[in-house]
């Protein structure tokens, strides 16, 4: 069976099946779960086997849910998917099959472990945050529906999970075989515990601490797969995180108004002050990205100014998000990213331009 032992073939089938179940349930998972196993079994399986497995799964799910498909949303999705596939194919074509297979298998496996580790770490700390804020959350118009605040999840079970999840996170970080990953996850746990207990009550420090959590997430992925991060890239992530977190505070303050006391530090901020902080963080992320793009372009030796052109969709996306904040939205950034079609389109444009830049260099 393609040179595989019966046991290995059965293992591959089981892993693909599990990945398909996860994919069908939450929309992602087949590639992350099955790719490492298939690559270790036979590097030639990557990426063709995953792509062939995804096609029937996608068509099956689409057929089952055909009555609930919104054609307008499918059209917007295709606008991003088709150019993205083309850009990805160009990058893949530049690599040999075996090099691509090894890179995909190792990187995906380590990145997935680091990702799951951070999921447990973040979940454990968020549970403690909700435990400590349960009374304030019950007065919040939206947060009162959270499991602990609403009584759906008991205090005792929440405390057990709050202790167990960070321990599991550190164990998974150790499974990557790199002490740097453990150090990053441990730092994240310490910082977020400090935020939950005390720092969220200190103006300015609260937003910096939350932004630091996003930076540590990026660092965890980099150290897990042993990829160096440019100092300008780190600055870009730092200011970008600050921009999103400050924008969230700005939107919350505009939305809650007199009820701002539901968050510890909102009463200390003013709309004018947060606007200044937004301007500072926006300037920081834009300057950092520009320098990073120019630096990367120079080191690549390419005559095509694609890295420089990637600045355009990045700038437009930042300006668009700023407009969203001024309209009174942004208290839930994830909802903005999911619902704003222009932001999604600009993100796709950035991916295409950056993908082409990597390919031609």
pLDDT band for 337, please (50, 70, 90 cuts).
Answer: confident
Query: H-type helices in 68-203, by residue range?
Result: 71-93, 97-132, 134-139, 147-150, 155-175, 179-197
pLDDT in tens, 49-89: 666 766 776 777 777 777 777 666 666 666 666 677 677 66
Q: Give the pLDDT of residue 265.
A: 74
Q: Give the pLDDT of residue 44.
A: 66
pLDDT band for 344, please (50, 70, 90 cuts).
Answer: confident
pLDDT band for 1, please (50, 70, 90 cuts).
Answer: very low
pLDDT more than 70, % of the chain: 74
Q: Give the pLDDT of residue 24.
A: 64
Task: Return the higher-pLDDT residue of 337 and 110.
Answer: 337
Into how many domains does the chain fold?
Answer: 1
Q: Does position 247 have pLDDT exceeding 80, yes or no?
A: yes
**Least-confidence region, from 81-95, 222-236, 275-289, 323-337:** 81-95
Contacts 24+ apart (CB under 8 A), 1-5: 2/42, 3/42, 4/41, 4/42
Q: Give the pLDDT of residue 91.
A: 65
pLDDT band for 239, please (50, 70, 90 cuts).
Answer: very high
Task: Return the higher-pLDDT residue of 206 and 12.
Answer: 206
N- to C-terminal Cα separation, the chain: 39
Residue 39, in any domain of the structure: no
pLDDT in tens, 145-173: 777 777 777 888 888 888 899 899 899 88
Task: Name every residue whose Cβ is closer than 8 Å to that of residue 58 and which is 6 or more positions away in sequence.
Answer: none
What's the rounded Cα separation, in Å, for the pair 328 and 339? 15
Task: Return the higher-pLDDT residue of 127 and 22.
Answer: 127
Task: Return the higher-pLDDT residue of 143 and 26.
Answer: 143
Residue 324, in any domain of the structure: yes
Q: How far is CA 19 from the centre of its chain?
A: 20
pLDDT in tens, 250-263: 888 887 665 555 56
Residue 246, in any domain of the structure: yes
Q: Does position 129 have pLDDT exceeding 50, yes or no?
A: yes
Task: Name every residue whose Cβ is closer than 8 Å to that of residue 45 and which is 6 or more positions away in sequence.
Answer: 12, 38, 39, 101
Task: Return the higher-pLDDT residue of 83 and 103.
Answer: 83
Residue 337, in any domain of the structure: yes
In which domain, by residue range, is 351 found?
A: 230-254+267-361
Task: Name every residue whose Cβ is closer than 8 Å to that of residue 282 and which is 6 or more positions away in sequence.
Answer: 239, 243, 318, 322
pLDDT in tens, 183-213: 988 998 899 888 888 888 888 999 999 899 8
Query: What's the rounded mean pLDDT across residues 292-301?
Result: 85
Taking alpha carbons only, the member of 176, 47, 169 closest to residue 110 is 176
Task: Return the higher-pLDDT residue of 242 and 16.
Answer: 242
What's the rounded Cα separation, in Å, for the pair 337 and 339? 6
Query: What's the rounded mean pLDDT across residues 213-242?
Result: 84
Query: What's the rounded mean pLDDT across residues 209-233?
Result: 83
Residue 240, in any domain of the structure: yes
Contacts 24+ apart (CB under 8 A), 221-229: 221/111, 221/114, 221/115, 223/178, 223/180, 223/181, 223/184, 224/110, 224/111, 224/113, 224/114, 224/176, 224/178, 224/181, 225/106, 225/107, 225/110, 225/111, 225/114, 226/178
Task: Name every residue whose Cβ is closer than 8 Å to that of residue 248 and which is 6 or more positions away in sequence.
Answer: 330, 331, 332, 333
Taking alpha carbons only, the member of 185, 31, 174 closest to residue 109 is 31
């Amino acid at each position: 069976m393609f040179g595989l032992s019966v046991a290995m073939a059965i293992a591959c089938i089981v892993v693909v099946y599990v990945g398909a179940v996860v994919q069908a349930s939450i929309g992602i998972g087949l590639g992350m779960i099955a790719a490492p196993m298939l690559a270790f079994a036979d590097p030639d399986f990557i990426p063709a086997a995953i792509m062939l497995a995804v096609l029937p799964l996608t068509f099956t799910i689409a057929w089952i849910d055909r009555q609930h498909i919104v054609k307008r949303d499918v059209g917007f999705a295709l606008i991003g998917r088709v150019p993205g596939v083309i850009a990805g194919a160009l990058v893949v074509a530049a690599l040999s099959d075996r090099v691509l297979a090894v890179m995909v298998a190792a990187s995906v496996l380590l990145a997935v472990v680091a990702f799951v580790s951070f999921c447990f770490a973040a979940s454990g700390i968020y549970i403690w945050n909700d435990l400590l804020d349960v009374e304030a959350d019950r007065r919040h118009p939206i947060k009162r529906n959270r499991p602990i605040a609403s009584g759906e999840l008991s205090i005792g079970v929440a405390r057990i999970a709050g202790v167990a999840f960070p321990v599991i996170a550190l164990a998974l970080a150790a499974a990557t075989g790199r002490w740097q990953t453990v150090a990053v996850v441990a730092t994240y746990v310490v910082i977020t515990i400090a935020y939950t207990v005390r720092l969220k009550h200190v103006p300015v420090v609260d937003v910096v601490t939350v932004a630091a959590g996003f930076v540590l997430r990026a660092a965890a992925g980099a150290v897990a797969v042993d990829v160096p991060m440019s100092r300008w890239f780190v600055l870009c992530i730092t200011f970008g995180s600050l921009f999103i977190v400050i924008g969230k505070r700005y939107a919350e303050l505009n939305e809650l108004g007199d009820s701002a006391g539901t968050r510890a530090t909102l009463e200390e901020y003013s709309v004018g002050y947060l606007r200044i902080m937004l301007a500072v963080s926006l300037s920081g992320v834009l300057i950092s990205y520009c320098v990073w793009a120019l630096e990367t372009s120079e080191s690549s030796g390419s005559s095509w100014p694609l890295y420089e052109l990637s600045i355009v969709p990045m700038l437009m996306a930042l300006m668009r998000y700023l407009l969203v904040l001024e309209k009174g939205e942004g208290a839930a950034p994830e909802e903005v990213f999911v619902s704003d079609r222009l932001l999604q389109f600009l993100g796709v444009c950035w991916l295409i331009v950056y993908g082409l830049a990597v390919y031609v260099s």
